[in-house]
Amino acid sequence: MGRRNIRPEAMEFQPDAVAVSEGEPPVQARIAVYVIFACLVFGGLWAWFSELDRVVSAGGMLVTRVPPIVVQPLETAVVRQINVRPGDVVRRGAVLATLDPTFASADFGQLAAKRRFLSAFVVLLAAELDGRPLPALDESAMDGEEKVRLTLFAMRKEEFRAKVEANDREVALLEDAVAANAAERMRLGEQANLAKEIEGMFGKLVPGGGASRLEYLGALREKLRVDDLAAKTEEKREQLVEQLSRAKMERQAFVSNWRAQTATQLLEARQNLDEVDHSLAKASRRSELVELSAVADAIVKEVAPLSEGSIAKAAETFCVLVPIGDADGALEAEVSIAAADIGHIRVGNETRLKLAAYPFQRHGFLDGVVRMVSPDAFVAEGAAPGHEGGQDGVGGVHYKARIRLTRTTLRDVGPDFRLLPGMTVSAEILVGKRRVATYILDPVIRGLHEALNEP
């Protein structure tokens, strides 16, 4: 219905409604329309261009990256002392329990004594093989068996010396005999020349009557006698030379055989020494392991139900330790992520962790990044296969994720503050950004999509 043209002088006789409808709209009303329109436009632009952090909530707890430390005795032994109980905090190197060291100490002492003897025996054999003087040994630290062995070694050395000296004397005698034989052969050679000359002279005188045949025969006999002595002396020389050569060969063979035996004994002694060194190292380690020590800072989780005097069996669990501390990254968070949110999770996503034991309003957060996401899903016991669990992933079908801690400090905590395995955490995993407009458009689009389908 349009406005009616009413004269101004007649307006005062019209009803109030007609006066309002025919009058000019107030300035405030006209401005309000533009303000509302501007707010709608600004709100739409803000909703389209503004973004909010998109997070996935997940619940879990702090766990250790390394498995629990299981402390076991190396061999069966009697328990001497137990120093810890479940719940105790132990430092690296702390003695958890002490076992009876009797057997380990006995083996170590026996092997140490055997090593001392073998070391001395190797030194003696090496000196003998190299021809060096034998070093003096301290026999006060040796037992009876070792002293007997050293006595046998000394007797063997004396036997070698006596045999070599006897061979040397025999060689010297034969060399003297060869020298005497040479002198004898020289003398007989001169006599043979003289006898030959005399026999020749008589042979020339006999035809002329200057000498009798008897004298000639006597000279000939003397010549033959001297030649026979010279031949016997030559034969004796050959025998002496052969005996001398045989004596020298026997001496050389004896010395070579002795050195070969000594080298063989030295090799065996060194091999035995190496074996004893290995056994001694193991025995030393066994002696050290009579004290069961913590290999890292940890909390004692379990202790075997044994008491002092009980028998701890080899390789059976004596106590279980849970490593503590985060200086070396020993702790991280394990959280459960609902199956509906797993598509947004990526390795490397930044995460904010809230500790249930320390309210974040007063103490702040821990920071971390997603290190690993399980490749398969887990189904909570008693949950239906299609049930995805709560918003934090607890119950139903869920995935496990490990979050590496990048900041482990909180504010307003005591000096003895320490993160412990098992602390409950709530993780907020930053998975990206989301426009504000999508919170309005997504339900509309979903409604339109589902409304156009016939069930």
Q: Please tell me the least confidently modeled range out of 151-165, 294-308, 357-371.
A: 151-165
Residue 331 lies in a domain: yes
Q: How confident is the model at residue 221 (pLDDT cuts 50, 70, 90)?
A: confident
Residues 179 and 166 in one domain: yes
Tell me what pLDDT residue 328 has. Answer: 47
In sequence order, which residues have a C-beta less than 8 Å from that of residue 115 and are 6 or more positions away?
273, 276, 277, 280
Residues 141 and 276 in one domain: yes
Report whether 181 contacts 240 (CB < 8 A).
yes
Range of the domain at 40: 13-49
Residue 205 lies in a domain: yes
Q: How confident is the model at residue 1 (pLDDT cuts 50, 70, 90)?
A: very low
Residue 172 has pLDDT above 80, yes or no: yes
Residues 189 and 316 in one domain: no
Tell me what pLDDT residue 17 has. Answer: 64
Residues 32 and 60 in one domain: no
Residue 333 has pLDDT above 90, yes or no: yes
Residue 58 has pLDDT above 90, yes or no: yes
Tell me what pLDDT residue 109 has. Answer: 79
Report whether 223 contacts 195 (CB < 8 A).
yes
Residues 140 and 161 in one domain: yes
Average confidence score pLDDT of the chain: 79
More reliable by pLDDT, 437 or 114:
114
Winning range, highest mean pLDDT, from 229-233, 339-343, 445-449: 339-343
Kindly report the backbone phi and psi dihedral angles of residue 77, in degrees, each rounded to the nearest multiple of 5, phi listed first: -155, 165
Winning range, highest mean pLDDT, from 232-236, 300-304, 440-444, 449-453: 300-304
CATH number (domain holding residue 427): 2.40.30.170
CATH number (domain holding residue 304): 2.40.50.100
What is the Cα–Cα distance from 25 to 18, expressed in whole angstroms? 13
Residue 244 lies in a domain: yes
Residues 297 and 271 in one domain: no
Residue 137 lies in a domain: yes
More reliable by pLDDT, 17 or 378:
378
Q: How confident is the model at residue 202 (pLDDT cuts 50, 70, 90)?
A: low
Q: How confident is the model at residue 61 (pLDDT cuts 50, 70, 90)?
A: very high
Q: Could you read off the pLDDT of 267-318 as tens digits, one per residue?
A: 888 898 899 888 888 888 888 888 899 988 888 989 999 888 889 888 889 9
Q: Based on the number of CB atoms within 10 Å of its own CB, is 359 exposed (0-12), middle (13-18) or buried (19 or more)?
A: exposed
Q: What tokens were used for 153?
A: 């070694």
Residues 312 and 418 in one domain: no
Mean pLDDT of 50-65: 86
Q: How confident is the model at residue 6 (pLDDT cuts 50, 70, 90)?
A: low
CATH number (domain holding residue 208): 1.10.287
Residues 193 and 114 in one domain: yes
> Among the three residues 302, 321, 340, which one is the final residue of a domain in this structure?
321
Residues 163 and 285 in one domain: yes
Residues 267 and 119 in one domain: yes
**What global pTM score does this model have?**
0.51
Q: Based on the number of CB atoms within 10 Å of its own CB, is 404 exposed (0-12), middle (13-18) or buried (19 or more)?
A: middle
Residues 40 and 93 in one domain: no
Structural domains of the chain, count? 4
Residues 185 and 74 in one domain: no
